[in-house]
Structure 1
Amino acid sequence: MNDPLAALPHGPEFRFVDALVSLDPGTSAVASYRVRGDEAFLAGHFPGNPLMPGVILIEAIAQLGGVVAQSDPAIPPLANLLLTGVRGAKILGAATPGEVLSIRAEVEGRLGGMIQVSGEVRSGERLLASAKVMLSGQEA
């Protein structure tokens, strides 16, 4: 795949991975996302003190995990890959407009159309969130 980010089915309004920093296809990746400040959810979370919601940080882990899983050269991409579970999520901080987030995701295991991913989101040295997410899709 020439552009691994093309595996993301999300529209630009709901994409929380801007660029890949590194990719070990099918295994792990590091990516970045800059909190622009014009994201629609920031207007209400919270007026006058915009903070990126913790659930969006978890979504960023899931999105990058999907990119990693779909880039595996030995396994065909799954159709309709979705986030279907979250375990052990910890939200330890918040991101504000202007911050550049570092997202890490690693595929821990696969069973048919199910993929377990662990990941974290950092702003500089600050750990903002970590989670194990389950992605599910349909085998071709």
Structure 2
Amino acid sequence: MELEIGQIMEILPHRQPFLLIDAVEELEPGKRAVARKCVSYNEPYFGGHFPGEPVMPGVLIVEALAQTGAVAILSMEENCGKTAYFAEINRARFKKKVVPGDVLTLTTEIIRQKGPIGIGSATASVRGEVVCTAELTFAIGSKEE
């Protein structure tokens, strides 16, 4: 299953400039998602990170991975309209810089879930080379909580 930006916005509450995925290329609801982020020189953070040497901040790569996982978990019928909140980030490793012109492939697989708490194994890559890995813990909640 593939999703375009409008369909992603029906699942995620994020909006520009903080919606960090452009398309979902593969989706297995509740199990796995693979998304794409086209990194443009026009991203607002490049003005200050870093002048003369633009590098995508690692925390935003992790956030893009989390949003990819959120699409996987929130696309389940029982989670429709809910929000996936960060609960924990473990073992985040950054292996290469991400710069303007790169296309990030973001893969998050839900490896455990018990009630509203789950864990995703996440990998970001550019042209087949891993740039970031992390284990992401999320909590599913409604907007009223």
TM-score (norm. length: structure 2) = 0.87
Retained in 1: the 8 A contact 2:32–2:107? Answer: yes
Cα distance in structure 2, aligned partners of 1:131 and 1:84:
13
Q: Partner of 2:104 in structure 1?
A: 101
Q: Partner of 2:12 in structure 1?
A: 8
Retained in 1: the 8 A contact 2:121–2:136? Answer: yes
Give the C-alpha shift of residue 79 in structure 1.
2.7
> Where do 4+ consecutive residues of structure 1 move more than 6 Å?
none
TM-score (norm. length: structure 1) = 0.90
Q: Partner of 1:69 in structure 2?
A: 73
Aligned length: 138
Q: Which residue identity lines up with residue 110 of structure 2 in the other structure? A: V
* Secondary structure of residue in 2 paired with 1:12: coil
Give the C-alpha shift of residue 4 in structure 1.
4.5
Work out which structure has the larger RCO, using CA pairs closer than 8 Å and 6 or more positions apart in sequence.
1
Cα distance in structure 2, aligned partners of 1:88 and 1:14:
23
Give the C-alpha shift of residue 90 in structure 1.
0.6
Q: Partner of 1:33 in structure 2?
A: 37
1:1-140 counterparts in 2 under 5 A?
Answer: 3-73=7-77, 75-77=78-80, 79-138=82-141
Which sections of structure 2, spanning at least 5 residues, go unmatched?
none
Give the C-alpha shift of residue 26 in structure 1.
1.2
